[in-house]
Amino acid sequence: MSVVVRGHHEHSTSNNKGNFLELLELRGSDNDLIKKKKKEIQFTDHKIQNEIIELLRKQVLSQILKQIKQAKYFSVMIDETTDISRQEQVSLVIRYTDDQFNVYERFIGFERTVEMTGEALFNLLLDWLKKLNLDVKHIVGQSYDGASAMRGEYRGVAARLKEVAPCGK
């Protein structure tokens, strides 16, 4: 399912300006900076919208990573799928608790992969965690779908991860 960010008719009198401008208008009702900038800038150029969305993504991810690092220990859940353009991709969800043992599951994102072998997926996960500055040794759990590349007893991601993160049963 795709989400429509930009509307077809983004002028001020349009009933549906698209999710991006509608959300910007909503946030502008209680945020003076947004309200001021909305008057100065139209925000209808797709490059500006994409840049703002990317900045928001980075900010949200930064807050999630801060919480994960405070928790120290975490579990990984990865799954593979084929997207609409027939590209193989992997999703990553990280599960952790706060100091009150409230459990959080946070979607981190998608990464494309060219191979669906246990080795390729394992290396993708390690590289991903490294980019996020998360220590693989702090993994205490792992979860996958039933694919043999993920859970394979000797060559799958699960077996390989146990070798580098012994607590990640």
> Quick one: pLDDT at residue 93?
95
Q: What is the mean pLDDT of the chain?
A: 81
Cβ pair 21, 43 in contact under 8 A: yes
Of residues 44 and 153, more confidence is placed in: 44
Task: Specify the pLDDT at position 126.
Answer: 93
Residue ranges of the domains in the chain? 19-63, 72-164
Q: How many helices (H) and strands (E) does the chain have?
A: 6, 4
Cross-strand bridge partners of residue 103: 97
Per-residue pLDDT of 88-117, as tens digits, reads 889 999 999 999 999 999 999 999 888 888
157 Rama class: left (phi>0) / alpha (psi -120 to 50) / beta? alpha
Structure tokens, 1: 């399912």
Q: Which superfamily does CATH assign the domain made up of 72-164 to?
A: ATPase, nucleotide binding domain (3.30.420.40)
pLDDT value at residue 147: 58
Residue 154 pLDDT level (bands cut at 50, 70, 90): very low
